[in-house]
Structure 1
Amino acid sequence: MNERLSGRKVIVTGAGSGMGRAIARRFAAEGAAVAVLDLNAESAQETTALIATDGGTARAVAVDVSDARSVDAAVAESSQALGGVDTLVNNAGILDGYAPLLDTSEELWDRILGVDLKSLFLMTRATLPLMLESGAGTVINMSSIAGFVARGGGAAYTSAKHGVIGFTKQLSADYGRAGIRANAICPGAVETSMTRQILAEGDAAVIESINAVPAGRHAQPEEIANLALFLASEESAFVHGAAYVIDGGWTIV
């Protein structure tokens, strides 16, 4: 590795598994000190142990990203452990089982929007002052192809992921001149436990569209981590408010 993130202090949410774990490990391998945040404390510890085995620096922190008090406490702990925060990856997310509107309860709507959208507001609100104080920072938000098209999820998930892109653009517009870069990643099907859930819950048309992508396969979590690394590094210094689709061609067919 080239240590493109040497000296960086990074928070990654949902880092106990899947894409979040891959991002945390890649960032640590590139020289960053990483706070591994996850609702599942044991999973966060597992990611931290993997990073330590790789020779990296990490701290596991349990958090409910949909709860303001939990977020504020987790960011405070992370900042103290890392010596600050200059990069935030809002990766935590959950699925809605492809529920259409009339099958979406208020409880499900609130849960999906809380984890998949409100969490970005809470996490960024808690970390942004630390970035502004140092005059620079990077926020990477995990959206989805469901942020662009329908049938990538149900009513709640699709609404939340569209909201992630809007939030990212507004954040960039509001704070870009203050040294803050905000961008979004929009994956298609990635080989994770969530993908297996999609295949189990999605209807036949959704499953067919996933399996028919021009790339002929699902993405690996490490491929999403590669894009996140680019957006966190100085190589993307002129990239502001962008939403990068990485879907193997799903949305062009």
Structure 2
Amino acid sequence: MDTGLAGKTAIITGATANIGRAIALGLAAEGATVVAVGRDQEAGARLVTLCRDLGAADAIFVAADMTAPASPARILEAALEFGPVAVLVNNVGGNVGAGFFADSDPATWAGDIDLNLGTVLRMTHAVLPGMIAARSGAIVNIGSTAGLVGDYMLPVYSAAKAAVHGFTKVLAKEVGQHGIRVNCVAPYGTVSSDPDAFSKGSRFNRENSFFARAFAGTSPEDMARRARQTVLGRPVATPEEVASLAVYLASDKAGFITGQIYPVDGGSLL
């Protein structure tokens, strides 16, 4: 299937781990020029090599903290060395912590909101003028089923992802007249079996023990309430299963699809 992505420049944030890494590799396999963004230089270098091996027109890694307001302009400058940006995948995100909202410290709310929503707003704002000038482009936001139903003990994260979904819809209405499409993929749990899929900063890197710390002291009853059952006999998706949808939505084959939120959840919302 000719996706029309060959030679097009694509920016992927949070590209060195899990879903973002799989999306970068998926776009590379379609012959796109991959501009991978992350914080782990070593993981970024490995990713660039893999992208080139898979057939990317070219690939570079841009080391950047997406919560820094100046990062989008620097990423865009690097991407424009290859030509106009045709695809933006806003993948970076995650929960800063976990717990009940009544027990939360208001000082921590901004972290979840900025990581999941602020980064999307700033990076999108940076690329839109070029897409409008070109009268074409595809933006794929990575939301979450948490933004559809709310994840137990992740109240601010869930709210931020719901905001990403809402932003997807309104932006699609605004920029459709310029030939730009905006869609969102909303995964449930997604974990790779490949140990190389998790960069140093990833929540899923075992050395970080993020989830053990985030849910330390949580009762078995509350952990059970957090779980949602799928109907497919396994609890999580692979990154590639999420990435395949993102690549499709970025491609010419999805040319009449915009403003949509697509769960990848194994039927957990049924």
The two structures share one fold, judged by TM-score above 0.5: yes
Residue matched to 2:154: 154
Cα separation, 2, equivalents of 1:205 and 1:150: 15
Alignment identity in percent? Answer: 35
Cα separation, 2, equivalents of 1:24 and 1:215: 26
Contact kept, 8 Å, 1:146 with 1:153, in 2: the verdict is no
How do 1:89-168 residues align onto structure 2 when only pairs under 5 Å count? 89-151=89-151, 154-168=154-168
Residue matched to 1:55: 55
**Deviation (angstroms), 1:153:** 5.5
Greater helix share, structure number = 1
Which stretch has the larger CA shift, 108-117 or 10-19? 108-117
Equivalent of 2:233 in 216, 236, 240: 216
SS of the counterpart of 1:64? coil
Identify unmatched segments of 5+ residues in structure 2.
193-197, 216-221
**Deviation (angstroms), 1:3:** 5.7
The alpha-carbon distance between structure 1 residues 122 and 216, as it changes in their structure 2 partners (threshold 3 A), is: same
- Which letter does structure 1 place at the counterpart of 2:68? D
Cα separation, 1, equivalents of 2:156 and 2:265: 21
Cα separation, 2, equivalents of 1:242 and 1:132: 20
**Deviation (angstroms), 1:152:** 5.5
**Deviation (angstroms), 1:231:** 0.3
Identify unmatched segments of 5+ residues in structure 1.
none
Which stretch has the larger CA shift, 132-141 or 61-70? 61-70
Contact kept, 8 Å, 1:143 with 1:187, in 2: the verdict is yes
- Which letter does structure 1 place at the counterpart of 2:252? E
Number of residue pairs matched by the alignment:
249
Contact kept, 8 Å, 2:95 with 2:112, in 1: the verdict is yes
Contact kept, 8 Å, 2:152 with 2:226, in 1: the verdict is no
Cα separation, 1, equivalents of 2:131 and 2:20: 21
Cα separation, 2, equivalents of 1:32 and 1:61: 16
Residue matched to 1:184: 184
Does residue 234 in structure 1 map to residue 252 in structure 2?
Answer: yes
SS of the counterpart of 2:62? strand
Cα separation, 2, equivalents of 1:93 and 1:45: 21
Contact kept, 8 Å, 2:101 with 2:153, in 1: the verdict is no
- TM-score (normalised: structure 1): 0.91
Does residue 64 in structure 1 map to residue 70 in structure 2?
Answer: no
**Deviation (angstroms), 1:208:** 3.6
Cα separation, 1, equivalents of 2:59 and 2:152: 33
Cα separation, 2, equivalents of 1:190 and 1:181: 25
The two structures, once aligned, show a CA RMSD in angstroms of: 2.0
- TM-score (normalised: structure 2): 0.86
How do 1:5-84 residues align onto structure 2 when only pairs under 5 Å count? 5-56=5-56, 57-80=58-81, 82-84=82-84
Contact kept, 8 Å, 1:199 with 1:207, in 2: the verdict is no
Highest relative contact order (Cα 8 Å, sep 6+), 1 or 2?
2
- Which letter does structure 2 place at the counterpart of 1:188? Y
SS of the counterpart of 1:102? helix
Cα separation, 1, equivalents of 2:165 and 2:244: 20
- Which letter does structure 2 place at the counterpart of 1:176? G
Which stretch has the larger CA shift, 68-77 or 168-177? 68-77
